[in-house]
Structure 1
């Protein structure tokens, strides 16, 4: 959620700064975790590999956001994270997290809230995966808007198509319909802004 962005900034000195080039795999689904990350600059996409081998892009990490929380304390990474542009990350090991929470008790609440939000996101995505394409797109777009706030959501039509497992032509038709209905604004093919949240939510019924 947007309210969680930048809340971890005061604790960056506890982490290890990493600079990653574009298309760098930060962690892979199924790996045993060694910690989690904070996105300082750049962009990172989160993907989920289904049992049938289909990879779906399910989230885009906003700057100032945490990701990979499920890998803390030797947890298993439930998703994969890949940079989509040159990025600056901060890695927090289990020891670093323990130290932050010990010296700043409210940090444990921030971390837990972020972790809960990610688990709910995964659960809702799975719940909608057999729904009609338009419902899946509406649900996904609302979730991204909740994270990025009023900013344009950085998702292109190809990524949307991969998420829904449909063609880019189908995605484009639905986006153009929503634009004509005054639900969204399109900035080229790479960003979307929801201008009528209630209208998009109504699609879900």
Structure 2
């Protein structure tokens, strides 16, 4: 995923730059797409509403990444996106995407790679929704580490991200800490054994 970050930056001059306040909805799950977005700075929270009506945070968009790619050609957005803090984003309509890809053929590859990555991640997350909580925690720890190089949130925020209680999260993290799988410093979680965490995330 890291190789996808900032690859869209050369085309920002084609987009519409937007300053969005904290806790504002960028797009809602199910509404017809108006295009897609690029996060220049700030934080975007991606949520998924299940068939049961439960809303889960499934991703925190890293800066330099596209989001909402599935909302092109008037297709419905598969998730919702909102700001966790004041953020600067760029909006790209279908017409603008066509112009960019026509003038820069490599842009189509960048867009497609990002879209495929999002579909793969979404499929993995949906398959995990009914998995044991330790497996979900391991998956999200690994995902955040791969995408950001670290886990950029404290335990309270991470518990909300997982959709579990802080007590349950802390119990599992303390157990992994004793096994030297992770380290917890200044309320931040650091993975010491990435392969072991992935083994937990993908256990049958």
TM-score, normalised with respect to structure 2: 0.92
Runs of 5+ consecutive residues of structure 1 not aligned to the other structure = none
Structure 2: gaps of 5 or more residues: none
- Kindly report structure 1 stretches of 4+ aligned residues shifted beyond 4 Å: none
Cα gap change, 1:105 to 1:70, in 2 (>3 Å)? same
| Residue among 154, 167, 171 paired with 2:165 | 167
C-alpha displacement of 1:199: 1.4
Matched residue SS, 1:112 = helix
Q: Deviations over 1:27-76 (max 9, x none)?
A: 11111001111000111111101111111000010010110000112111
Contact kept in structure 2, 1:125 and 1:140, CA below 8 Å: no
Which position in structure 1 is the counterpart of 2:122? 122
SS in 2 for 1:74: coil
Are residues 2 and 162 of structure 1, via their aligned partners in 2, closer, same or farther at CA, if it must alter by over 3 Å? same
Q: Tell me which residue corresponds to 2:33.
A: 33
Aligned to 2:57: 57
* Conserved 8 A contact 1:121-1:143: no
Matched, 1:185 2:183: yes
Contact 1:23 1:85 in 2 (8 A): yes
| Structure 1 position 143 matched with structure 2 position 171 | no
* 1:21 CA drift (Å): 1.1
Structure 1 counterpart of 2:199: 202
Cα distance between partner residues in 2 of 1:48 and 1:156: 22
Query: What's the TM-score once normalised by structure 1's chain length?
Result: 0.92
C-alpha distance in 2, partners of 1:185/1:82?
30
Instruction: Measure how far apart 1:14 and its partner are.
Output: 0.5
- How far residue 155 of structure 1 moved from its aligned partner, in angstroms, is 3.5
Residues 187/20 of structure 1: CA separation in 2 closer, same or farther (3 Å cut): farther
Structure 1 SS opposite 2:130: coil
**In structure 2, do the counterparts of structure 1 residues 49 and 43 end up closer, same or farther at CA, with 3 Å as the change threshold?**
same
Residues matched between the structures, number:
202
1:159 Cα offset (Å): 4.3
CA RMSD of aligned residues (A): 1.6
Asked whether 1:71 is paired with 2:68, we answer no
In 2, Cα distance between the equivalents of 1:171 and 1:108?
A: 40
**Is the Cα–Cα contact under 8 Å of residues 15 and 91 in structure 1 kept in the other structure?**
yes
Where 2:59 maps in the other structure, the secondary structure is: strand
Are the counterparts in 1 of residues 159 and 166 from structure 2 also a CA contact under 8 Å?
A: yes
